């Protein structure tokens, strides 16, 4: 902890500057998936119930510091009104006088914060200007917390600040997963490449008890031990790094689990003919063979491991889950983790990259303890990095 929540703030009669993530998909001016908007609705309702009036700050797309009409937030107003159940007033160029002229129960939406380069530069003048628009700052955009921008950190240093309900849920889940977990704690780290997960692996092996490595990444670890894996996705230049990570894990007392078998095919396509092949340091595949998923023995071993854990962090699939049947191990193990969660034996926290899509495919999204939709910020937290947007709430 160390950060305040809405419960700690006096909001009555206050204009509450609220940083949100409403970067939703829009087609032909209509919101096609309102999930991100729905997730901030409890924060908006709570601020209003406490007598505060939310002044929403958000970015949309990547306008690169210039006004881009297609990236205006104005078309989102109807979707916000539906989710919040109240009128929302949009303002392109806000001033405190204009805000004070609005009814006390108004919800105000300010135009895209990234329409000026001052936002991403965390310009002190922009932070001052934003701070002048409110009395209290509430940050509910965990997904933007790894960026030090004027609307995420600059303003937090200038006003009494707190986490919104979504940020609070996200931070509580992440703290329960890694800062202060019930042990034993394990992690599944899968996905395509070791190179994008180096910081994650180095940090996790120091903090957790069991690390399950899957996906294309596992190929690199197996190859580093001598396996010859044909045309499998792997990073030959990272064999030393993979061995270093295994040594670090050993020194820290973290057990590493690599696949003991794999679903192997000659074509990277749905329904490709495949066989299950034992994987170890002596495995030699033909030049055109690819390991596209963990095999059934690996899935059984991973599932048995989950039953020994109290906490599980999940990032990345165990195989090329987009093409059937190479989603088999991901789906089977995700379902096992979900069942343990439902029966109260396991706390499961997942996020980053393709993880949400993979878990949705397994149909378990509802049953994990927490699934973060915050991609980059989730990974940076798991890498042990300080998130400026969270640090600014600790003042
Ligand atoms: P990431 O974004 O790093 O989490 O990687 C996810 C991607 O890795 C997905 O698109 C998967 O299809 C891919 N992937 C996982 N395992 C394999 C594998 N054994 N061979 C090829 N691609 C894989």
Domain CATH for 161? 3.40.50.1260
The last residue of a domain, from among 115, 133, 165:
165
Q: Note whether 132 and 249 are same-domain residues.
A: no
- Say whether both 280 and 194 belong to one domain: yes
Ligand 1 centroid, distance to 320 Cα (angstroms): 5
Residue 29: what pLDDT?
Answer: 86
Alpha-carbon distance of 312 to 253, in angstroms, equals 17
* Residues 266 and 125 placed together within one structural domain of the fold: no
Mutate to test the pocket of ligand 1, among 198, 216, 219, 234 (most ligand atoms within 8 A of CB): 216
Ligand 1 centre distance from Cα of residue 370 (Å): 22
Q: Is 271 within 8 Å of 289 (Cβ atoms)?
A: no
- The pLDDT, as a whole number, for residue 352 is 86
- Of 114, 140, 165, at which residue does a domain stop? 165
Q: Tell me, yes or no, whether 224 and 198 share the same domain.
A: yes
Distance from Cα 359 to the centre of ligand 1, integer Å: 14
Q: Give yes or no: 389 in active site.
A: no
Q: What is the pLDDT of residue 390?
A: 96
Profile the chain (395 residues) by mean pLDDT over runs of 10 residues. 93 98 92 93 98 98 96 97 98 97 95 98 98 98 96 98 97 93 97 93 97 97 98 97 98 98 97 98 98 98 98 97 97 98 98 89 94 91 95 88
Asked if 345 and 307 sit in the same domain, the reply is yes
In this structure, the answer to whether residues 354 and 263 fall within a common structural domain is: yes
Distance CA 196, CA 242 (A): 13
Q: Is residue 174 part of a domain?
A: no
Catalytic residue among 14, 15, 19, 36: 36
| 207 and 158 part of one domain | no
- Alpha-carbon gap, residue 338 to 348, rounded angstroms: 8
The verdict on 204 and 133 lying in the same domain is no
Q: For residue 11, with 0-12 CB atoms within 10 Å meaning exposed, 13-18 middle and 19 or more buried, which class applies?
A: buried
Is residue 138 domain-shared with residue 276, that is, in the same domain? no
Determine, yes or no, domain membership for 392: no
Asked whether residue 69 falls in the same domain as residue 141, the answer is: yes
Catalytic site residue 96?
A: no
Q: Are residues 53 and 190 in the same domain?
A: no
Residue nearest to atom 23 of ligand 1 (CA): 320
Residue 171 forms part of a structural domain: no
| C-beta separation of 338 from 376 below 8 A | no
Phi, psi of 241 (to 5 degrees): -60, -45
Edge-first strand listing for the sheet containing 161-163: 88-91, 107-110, 53-57, 15-19, 136-139, 161-163
Tell me which residue of 109, 290, 103, 283 sits closest to 192, measured CA to CA: 290
Within a domain: 170: no
Q: Is 36 a catalytic residue?
A: yes
Please tell me the distance between residue 114's alpha carbon and the centre of ligand 1 in angstroms: 32
Of 239, 203, 245, give the one whose Cα is nearest residue 223: 239
Range of the domain at 151: 6-165
Residues 6+ apart with CB under 8 A from 386: none
Considering 165, 193, 224, which residue would you say is the last residue of a domain? 165
In a domain, 393, yes or no: no
Question: What is the distance between the alpha carbons of residues 222 and 386, in angstroms, rounded to a whole number?
Answer: 32
User: Which one from 4, 193, 207, 266 is the annotated catalytic residue?
Assistant: 193
Q: Do 246 and 304 fall into the same domain?
A: yes
**CA–CA separation, 15 vs 51, rounded Å?**
9
253 is catalytic: no
Mutate to test the pocket of ligand 1, among 191, 221, 375 (most ligand atoms within 8 A of CB): 191
Distance 319 CA to ligand 1 centre (A): 6
Residue 176 lies in a domain: no
CB-defined site of ligand 1, < 6 Å: 191-193, 196, 215-216, 233, 291-292, 316-317, 319-322, 353-354
**Number of domains the chain contains:** 2
């Amino acid at each position: 902890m160390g950060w305040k929540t809405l419960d700690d703030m006096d909001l009555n009669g206050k204009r509450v500057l609220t940083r949100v993530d409403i970067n939703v998909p829009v087609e032909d001016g209509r919101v096609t998936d309102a999930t991100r908007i729905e997730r901030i609705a409890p924060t908006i309702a709570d601020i209003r119930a406490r007598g505060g009036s939310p002044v929403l700050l958000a970015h949309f797309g990547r306008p690169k510091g210039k006004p881009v009409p297609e990236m205006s937030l104005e078309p989102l107003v109807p979707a916000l009104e539906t989710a919040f159940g109240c009128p929302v007033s949009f303002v392109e160029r806000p001033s405190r006088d204009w805000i004070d002229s609005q009814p006390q129960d108004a919800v105000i939406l300010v135009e895209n914060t990234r329409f000026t380069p001052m936002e991403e530069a965390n310009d002190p003048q922009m932070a001052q200007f934003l701070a002048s628009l409110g009395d209290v700052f509430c940050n509910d955009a965990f997904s933007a917390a790894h960026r030090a921008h004027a609307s995420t950190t600059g303003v937090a240093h200038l006003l009494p600040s707190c986490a919104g309900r979504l940020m609070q849920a996200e931070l509580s889940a992440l703290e329960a997963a890694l800062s202060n977990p019930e042990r034993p704690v394990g992690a599944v780290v899968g996905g395509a490449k070791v190179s994008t997960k180096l910081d994650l692996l180095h940090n996790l092996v120091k903090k957790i008890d069991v690390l399950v490595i899957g996906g294309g990444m596992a190929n690199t670890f197996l190859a580093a031990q001598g396996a010859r894996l044909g045309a499998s996705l792997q990073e030959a230049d990272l064999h030393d790094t993979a061995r270093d990570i295994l040594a670090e894990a050993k020194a820290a007392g973290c057990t590493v689990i690599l696949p003991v078998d794999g679903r192997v095919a000659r074509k990277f396509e749905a329904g490709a003919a495949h066989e299950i092949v034992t994987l170890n340091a002596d495995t030699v595949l033909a030049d055109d063979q690819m390991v596209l998923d963990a095999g059934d023995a690996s899935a059984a071993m991973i599932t048995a491991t989950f039953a020994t854990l109290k906490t599980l962090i999940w990032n990345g699939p165990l195989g090329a889950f987009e093409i059937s049947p190479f989603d088999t191990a991901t789906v089977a193990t995700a379902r096992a983790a979900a069942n343990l969660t439902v029966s109260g034996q396991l706390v499961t926290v997942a996020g980053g990259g393709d993880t949400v899509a993979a878990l949705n495919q397994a149909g378990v999204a509802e049953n994990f303890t927490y699934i973060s939709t915050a991609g980059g910020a989730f990974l940076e937290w798991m890498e042990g990095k300080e998130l400026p947007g969270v640090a600014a709430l600790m003042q």
